[in-house]
Structure 1
Amino acid sequence: MRRHLMKHQNLIIGVLIAVIAVAIGAVAYDIHARSAAVSSKTSQKTAAAETSKTETSQKTSAASDQSANQKTIVLDPGHSAVMPSGSEPVGPGAGENKAKDMVGTKGVATGVTEYDFMLSLANKLKPELEKRGYKVVLTRTDSQSAHSCTQRAQVANDNHADAFIRLHANAAESPAPNGAMTINITAHSPYTPSTYSQCRKLSDCVLNAYCSATGAKREGVVERDDLTGNNWAKVPTTLIEVGYMTNPDEDKRMQTDAYQAKMVQGIANGIDQFFKN
């Protein structure tokens, strides 16, 4: 009887040991499985973080490359309602002085001032150029501040402009003249002759594209060395006379939204061509 009880007890103990062993094994498996899952998630997070770092680095590098390759355009809306007093040398080291600026012309039919017209045109041209990838700087953002021609050129120089576009409208004693022209320094400029070839190229590109877009008469490229803003600029520079405000028909046409849209496209296309050629 005692032997039978001992066998029974041993059997129970054996079963308990087996159950405990199975339980311990299950717990160990669960711990291992959880550890593996955590390790897998950690690896996935690490991989995702590394991928994110790589993508961020690539984006930063691409943005840096784009910034390094981005061209800077300085737009100079001609004249202002407030004139700077006094005169200034027409060019670096020049003995001749000219007024720091003049009030500009005015539409014979519309009454619009050149300085307001050019600022409005610059404000329409700026977003179009930015859309095309350019960095754009204006020499003035209102018509109530005085800016001399040398100060305007200095804005282009300080920003290391890849192109300096001076925006103006023309005037004549007769109402007959019409059309557009660009003006740059001569090949024998006593001030910045090293920029001549680029200035001439810029003038040709802008004028050709402008006349093509607007249908304006092409009056040609004029070369002269008496424009202070051109002479003080150390970067590729052109002054565009977009049309005659003293011609009633052209004056009225230039104040329409449809024509101004063509003007903007023409100048922007000319700048594009300057960098492509």
Structure 2
Amino acid sequence: MLDPGHNGGNASHPEEINKQVSVGNGRKACDTTGTVTPEGYSEHAFNWDLANRLAKVLRDKGAEVTLTRESDIGVGPCITERAATGGRVGADAALSIHGDGGPPSGHGFHVIVPAPVAGNAGIVDESVQLGKAIRAAYHAGTGLPYATYIGEDGLDRRDDLGGLNLAKVPTAFIECGNMSNEVEAAKMASLTFRRRMADSLAKGFEDYFSR
């Protein structure tokens, strides 16, 4: 299961995306608008494009792939619905795809994996293994460094994300690069580089499943 973060219609529907939902150990907004590069390339568009490229690569290799949203012009779905999709469709693993809005001087990517909270204990260990496989393949395939401003060696454990707290299958998030950094943003806006990203992420799934 692939989750392209955010959605193109979120910004024009604040009443829907700002409603509070349970994330397992608290409450947060249903969804957010995401970030944007200095040149105006939106995160939601990046996420949608990369998720579809990755889905095609995986399907060409024989995988069954479900996405959490059907277009980049809609609203949501809420993080609760995104988290539930993997279990509902019987996915073996899930990856939520994002671009980060870090400090402009920072660069690099990082993978987010769940910390144990009530309800997700059964998927934490496998989620970490998935995250490490994705991290290694993405690092090797894209040449992007680990984030200089967050996490440790490209890995960050969090207990405040509904997509991880409520997940029923092994799940990781990837912040594919820092969209606030002009050099990195240019790579993320590049069609050629997004193809490279998709191939790298597919290799991460292959490595995870072939352990």
1:206 is the counterpart of 2:134? yes
SS in 2 for 1:238: strand
- Corresponding letter in the other structure for 2:3: D
Q: Return the alpha-carbon distance in structure 2 between the equivalents of residues 76 and 87 of structure 1.
A: 20
Counterpart of 2:35 in structure 1 is 105
Match of 1:129, SS state, is helix
Q: CA deviation at 1:257?
A: 2.0
What letter matches 1:228 in structure 2?
G
> Partner letter of residue 198 of structure 2?
V
Number of the residue aligned with 1:4: none
1:81 paired with 2:8, answer: yes
Which residue matches 1:154?
84
Instruction: Name which one, 1 or 2, has greater alpha-carbon Rg.
Output: 1
The counterpart of 2:109, out of the listed 172, 175, 180, is 180
Deviation at 1:232, TM superposition (A): 1.1
Extract unaligned runs of 5+ from structure 2: 11-15, 148-153
> Which residue number corresponds to residue 182 of structure 2?
248
Q: Where does residue 114 of structure 1 map in the other structure? A: 43
2:34 is paired with a residue of what secondary structure? coil
TM-score (norm 2): 0.90
Deviating 4+ runs (over 3 angstroms): none
Write the distance in 2 (CA, Å) between the matches of 1:116 and 1:204. Answer: 26
**1:255: Cα distance to partner?**
1.3
| Among candidates 56, 63, 69, match of residue 134 of structure 1 | 63
8 Å contact from structure 2 (residues 120, 165) kept in 1 = yes
**Alpha-carbon offset, residue 202 of structure 1:** 0.3
Higher share of residues assigned helix: 1
Q: What CA deviation, in whole Å up to 9, does each residue of 1:76-100 have, x standing for no partner?
A: 0000123334110111xx3x21000
Report the CA distance between 1:153 and its aligned residue: 1.2
Which residue of the partner structure matches residue 15 of structure 1? Answer: none
Matched residue SS, 1:218:
coil
Deviation at 1:256, TM superposition (A): 1.2
Amino acid at match of 1:251: A
1:102 Cα deviation from its structure 2 partner: 0.5
Quick check: 1:119–1:141 contact (8 Å CA) kept in 2?
Answer: no
| 2:207 maps to 1:273 | yes
Q: By how many angstroms is 1:125 displaced?
A: 0.9
Any stretches of 5+ residues in structure 1 without a counterpart? 1-73
What secondary structure is seen at the aligned counterpart in 2 of 1:88?
strand
3-state DSSP of counterpart to 2:106: coil
Q: Retained in 2: the 8 A contact 1:175–1:247?
A: yes
What CA RMSD, in Å, does the superposition of the two structures yield over aligned residues?
1.1
- The alpha-carbon deviation at position 123 of structure 1 amounts to 1.2
What residue is the counterpart of 2:150 in the other structure? Answer: none
Listed one character per residue, the Cα deviations across residues 161-213 of structure 1 (whole Å, up to 9, x for unaligned) are: 111010000112x3111111111111x32231111110000000001100100
Does residue 215 in structure 1 map to residue 143 in structure 2?
Answer: yes
* Letter of the 2:136 counterpart: N
Kindly indicate whether the alpha-carbon contact (under 8 Å) linking 1:79 and 1:115 is maintained by their aligned counterparts in 2. Answer: yes
User: Which residue matches 2:13?
Assistant: none
